[in-house]
Amino acid sequence: MGDRSIQQRLAAVLAADVVGYTRLMEKDTEGTVAAWQAVRDEVINPTVDAHSGRIVKLTGDGFLAEFPTVNEAVKCGIELQQGFAESTLDFRIGINLGDIIDDGQDIHGEGVNVAARIEALAEPGGISISGGVYEQVRNRIEATYEDMGDQEVKNVSAPVKVFAIRLEGAAGVASQAEISVANKPSIAVLPFDNMSGDPEQEYFSDGITEDIITDLSKVSALFVIARNSSFTYKGKVVDVKQVAADLGVRYVLEGSVRKATNRVRITAQLLDGVTGGHLWADRYDRDLNDIFLVQDEVTQNIVEALKLKLSLKESNRVGVPITSNIEAYDYALRARELMHRHTPEAHVEARKLLEQAIELDHEFSTAYAFLAVVLFSDFTNGWNDATEKALDQGLELATMAVEVDPDGPQGYWALALGHMWKRNLDQAIEEIDRAVALGPNHSEAYAVRGLIFAYAGQPIEAVASLEKSMRLNPHFPDLHLHFLAHAHFLQANYGEAVALLQRRIRLYPETDISRVLLASCFGHMGRVDEARNQWAKALEMNPTYSIEQKARVLPYRNPADWDRFIDGLHKAGLPE
């Protein structure tokens, strides 16, 4: 031991720690350990290695690494947080440049101490860096740097200047402050529990939840978390404070539904996500035909409890039942549940149910809109023998949805999709702008808006809309990562696009479209072998993938945008 050399040198040190590790272990030891092992093997080890770093030590709830340059340390930190975003574990990261003592097995000294201390100052999912690191990277790495001022650090005599990194376009790595909208009350509606004792009634309790979300989403003075994110807590015993922290909201609504023959009992309670205290609670025992009145009462009670001010137009829209026919409503709820499965078989069944709903209520706008979206999806995915005729039928249905309910966002959302696929991009933009004006919390409408603007040759606007959608829906569908990557690709931001596409592929390895777009990115970046590898994997996933079919279907306004995609492939010698 006495012969081991001790080195003193300047190094970039990265310290990372799992947020709330002790609590997580108490709650689910096996699951937490498995999550740590997965993130260690799939994210930490390869990412640190890719940036020429060295992991000095791994602990049960974090790790310490050193890098030859500050640039590599910060780039690694950013990529790590992007990789951590889909884990059930949240990490804080601190990065410092300072003197270290390396004894051959561990590193010590003020450089390490400061990194560990400023790591504790980072928000969950965030990165804190010392002033010395900031000076070296502020003009080299594109990000928003927030001055946190001078911080007292234990065992360091002088205060340390600290900055927080706010990542631009880093989808999903959002703190509570980033998710929430300033000066707006924010709420998540958790899935109402099905208390009917019949799993077949699950669609009904889910439908009630979704309709309350939809109604609240019309209120511009409220920030409402989207269905996808709220439903990640379905069937789980939750800590309301933790849910509020995870989703970045102040208030949480939870409840239950018991449906029996022609009666329904609904309980609902509004909770403060910070204190856990009750703000309002009620129980409704009603005839099934009164279900729409109950939904209206719940929404109005929330508005009153939060002291929200509605505009005259919002007052007229909020609480308006989507149909007066309870049987048609039931068919629509069943169809919506099938649509969420997103398979050709489920679409066949959903279509039948929606057609029955429309037959029972010819002024059921939501049913028309849903049926239109089913047809558009069948066409773009090549499902159920859908042809161009499906697009025309869908446009007719979406138009009908708007005609019977000109004040609802769903019809304009569907109409925008139809016009986009028909390459009527100016009309599509007009319709989707109406949708978000009527539904200011409609995350899917913002996602579609981003998709439309990308195809219309306005990728900067596309990024803004997609990021707004992701803030409204922190657990957004993985496909939205592809949409955001595509918008960055169109701006030649290939590095950003690559990070997003790689994350999407980790979540959905079977994707063909993300692998092909990644191949084009790599082609533009001169990474030919990686491009060829992704192309080969895409064809493994979908042997029938066709460039010609994409050229026919994808509605690019500017031929140069399509050419950019093809040129990236050609630079890698693809397709062969």
Percent of the chain's residues with pLDDT above 90: 46
216-264 confidence digits (pLDDT tens): 888 888 889 988 889 889 888 888 888 888 888 889 999 999 988 788 9
Give CA–CA dist 115/132, Å, rounded: 12
| pLDDT at 215 > cutoff 80 | yes
pLDDT of residue 5: 66
81-93 confidence digits (pLDDT tens): 888 877 778 899 9
- Mean pLDDT for 559-565 is 97
Q: Is 518 exposed, middle or buried (0-12, 13-18, 19+ CB in 10 A)?
A: buried
Nearest partner of 15 among 71, 53, 42, 52, judged by Cα: 53
- Between 3-7, 45-49, 90-94, 508-512, the lowest mean confidence (pLDDT) is in 3-7
| pLDDT at 265 > cutoff 50 | yes
Give CA–CA dist 316/254, Å, rounded: 25
pLDDT of residue 314: 66
- Mean pLDDT for 187-216 is 89
pLDDT of residue 343: 87
| pLDDT at 45 > cutoff 70 | yes
Is the CB of residue 479 less than 8 Å from the CB of residue 455?
no
pLDDT of residue 508: 85
Topology (CATH level 3) of domain 7-168: Alpha-Beta Plaits (3.30.70)
Radius of gyration of the chain (CA): 26
Give CA–CA dist 347/107, Å, rounded: 58
Give CA–CA dist 432/425, Å, rounded: 10
Can you identify the CATH homologous superfamily of domain 478-576? Tetratricopeptide repeat domain (1.25.40.10)
- Between 47-56, 177-186, 519-528, the lowest mean confidence (pLDDT) is in 177-186
| pLDDT at 572 > cutoff 80 | yes
pLDDT of residue 318: 67
401-441 confidence digits (pLDDT tens): 999 999 889 999 999 999 999 999 999 999 999 999 999 98
| pLDDT at 370 > cutoff 90 | yes
Q: Model confidence at 178, in pLDDT bands (50, 70, 90)?
A: very low
Is the CB of residue 165 less than 8 Å from the CB of residue 143?
yes
Q: Model confidence at 138, in pLDDT bands (50, 70, 90)?
A: confident
CA distances from 39 to 34, 45, 61, 127 (A): 9, 9, 11, 17
- Mean pLDDT for 52-61 is 88
Is the CB of residue 448 less than 8 Å from the CB of residue 555?
no
Give CA–CA dist 84/78, Å, rounded: 10
- Mean pLDDT for 160-185 is 56
Is the CB of residue 271 less than 8 Å from the CB of residue 252?
yes
pLDDT of residue 176: 39
| pLDDT at 4 > cutoff 60 | no
Topology (CATH level 3) of domain 178-317: Rossmann fold (3.40.50)
The residues, any chain, with a CB within 8 Å of residue 27's CB and separated by 6 or more, are none
Give CA–CA dist 434/430, Å, rounded: 7
Running DSSP on this structure, what letter comes out for residue 40? I
Is the CB of residue 193 less than 8 Å from the CB of residue 257?
yes
Is the CB of residue 76 less than 8 Å from the CB of residue 64?
no
pLDDT of residue 417: 96
The residues, any chain, with a CB within 8 Å of residue 495's CB and separated by 6 or more, are 525
The encoded tokens of residue 158 equal: 């002088």
pLDDT of residue 169: 37
Domain-by-domain residue ranges, the chain? 7-168, 178-317, 478-576
Mode of pairing for the β-strands spanning 91-102 and 7-18:
antiparallel
| pLDDT at 180 > cutoff 60 | no
The encoded tokens of residue 6 equal: 């001790």
User: Which single residue is written with the structure tokens 């601190």?
Assistant: 94
Instruction: Kindly report the average pLDDT of the chain as a whole number.
Output: 87
Give CA–CA dist 538/572, Å, rounded: 15
pLDDT of residue 260: 82
Q: Which residues pair with 158 in a beta bridge?
A: none
State the CB neighbour count (10 A cutoff) for residue 227. 21
